[in-house]
Amino acid sequence: MTAPFADRLVQGIRTKNTPLCVGLDPFADRIPAIFGDIGADPASTLLKFGTAIVDIAVKHATVLKPQLGLFEQFGEMGYAAARMLCEYAIGAGMLVILDAKRGDIGTTAEGYARATLGAKPGFAADCVTVNPYMGKDTLEPFISLAQREAKGVAILVRTSNPGAADFQDLQVGDAPLWRRVAEMLSPEAERLRGASGWSGLMAVAGATYPDEARALREAMPTSLFLVPGYGAQGASARDAVAGFIATRQGLEGGVVSSSRAVCYPEPAQRANTLADWRSAVEEAVKNAASELRAACTR
């Protein structure tokens, strides 16, 4: 039997000794020409680029986070490439958090849950990001499927973008909305809790707001965090692990995602050969992994 997602994730983080999650964000204008002409042949270019990233990422990180919206801009070929890359990464031994930010009612939510977490023709991802705005009943199909299949669900609570404050920070009684969302979700975390004590009902907690991350940790003590915003979005490694807690292994409590900084480091953009590109990207991934390792070391 497969172990709960939370335990597999924590095990992976301990083995790699870093909470780094490699974000796979395919930007048409940044993927080097050595991988092909993305305009003429998006599927092949995305697959070549994506598998090359996975081959490097698997050595230094435990999680891959493909950004589905950037695949979908290439239509069904992009959608198919994203699914195949999930399969490839899982086959290589990585855990996949599919960044899809889905959310819908009843039977449609069931459809999205199957599409993202379910086996073929679904993505069979280990975890998927979902949006809570429509209410707890719209999250239930994802949580149920995750509970049955030892998967995870990462719920947007406090995001890392500038406009996150517009609605998430509105005061509801004596606390901001995001805190109400966290409090309402917290009891559900028990259902995806593993032997490690951590829960695979993850909370997305933007690295750009470390104070909020600490407050969110109080509200959701067992939930692993998915922290975006580290690197290109400007947050430091220390800020990124603000919601982690001290354990004998050091700070623990989630994964920290870096996308642009690891997939498109400046020297890789200038590379003319695959070998040059590989060493530039591996350097960037290793740096991110060790910066986060250092931030988690007490």
Residue 154, beta-bridge partner list: 129, 202
Q: Which is nearer to a copy of itself, 18 or 233 (CB)?
A: 233
Phi, psi torsion values for 197, nearest 5 degrees: 95, -20
Residue 234 touches a copy of itself, criterion: CB under 8 A: no
* Buried b / exposed e along 172-196 (16+ C-beta atoms within 10 A): eeeebbbbbbbeebbebbeebbbeb
Q: Which is nearer to a copy of itself, 170 or 246 (CB)?
A: 170
Residue 122 touches a copy of itself, criterion: CB under 8 A: yes
Q: Min. distance of Cβ 72 from a copy of itself in angstroms?
A: 4
Establish whether 136 is a catalytic residue: no
Piece of the chain touching a copy of itself by CB under 8 A; list 9-17, 143-151, 178-186, 244-252: 178-186
Residue 184 touches a copy of itself, criterion: CB under 8 A: yes
For a copy of itself (CB under 8 A), the number of binding residues is 63
Residue 67 touches a copy of itself, criterion: CB under 8 A: yes
Residue 209 touches a copy of itself, criterion: CB under 8 A: no
Q: Min. distance of Cβ 112 from a copy of itself in angstroms?
A: 4
Q: Which of 173, 187, 273, 275 binds a copy of itself (CB under 8 A)?
A: 173
Q: Which is nearer to a copy of itself, 36 or 118 (CB)?
A: 118
The tokens for 118 are: 């379910």
Q: Which of 65, 83, 151, 217 binds a copy of itself (CB under 8 A)?
A: 83
Task: Write out the E strands in the chain.
Answer: 20-24, 63-66, 95-102, 127-130, 152-158, 171-172, 175-176, 199-205, 223-227, 245-247, 250-252, 254-258
Residue 171 touches a copy of itself, criterion: CB under 8 A: yes
How many whole angstroms separate alpha carbon 88 and alpha carbon 47? 10
Q: Which long-range contacts (CB under 8 A, 24 or more apart) does 243-250 make?
A: 243/205, 243/210, 243/213, 243/214, 243/216, 243/217, 244/19, 244/217, 244/296, 245/217, 246/298, 249/14, 250/296, 250/297, 250/298
Angle at 101 between CA 43 and CA 187, to 5 degrees: 145
Of 16, 48, 65, 101, catalytic: 101
Residue 48 touches a copy of itself, criterion: CB under 8 A: no
How many whole angstroms separate alpha carbon 205 and alpha carbon 226? 6
Q: Which is nearer to a copy of itself, 118 or 210 (CB)?
A: 118
Residue 90 touches a copy of itself, criterion: CB under 8 A: no
- List residues with catalytic annotation: 101
Q: Which residue ranges make up the site for a copy of itself (CB under 8 A)?
A: 25, 27, 42, 67, 69-80, 83, 99, 101-112, 114-115, 118, 120-122, 131-138, 156, 159-168, 170-173, 177, 180-181, 184
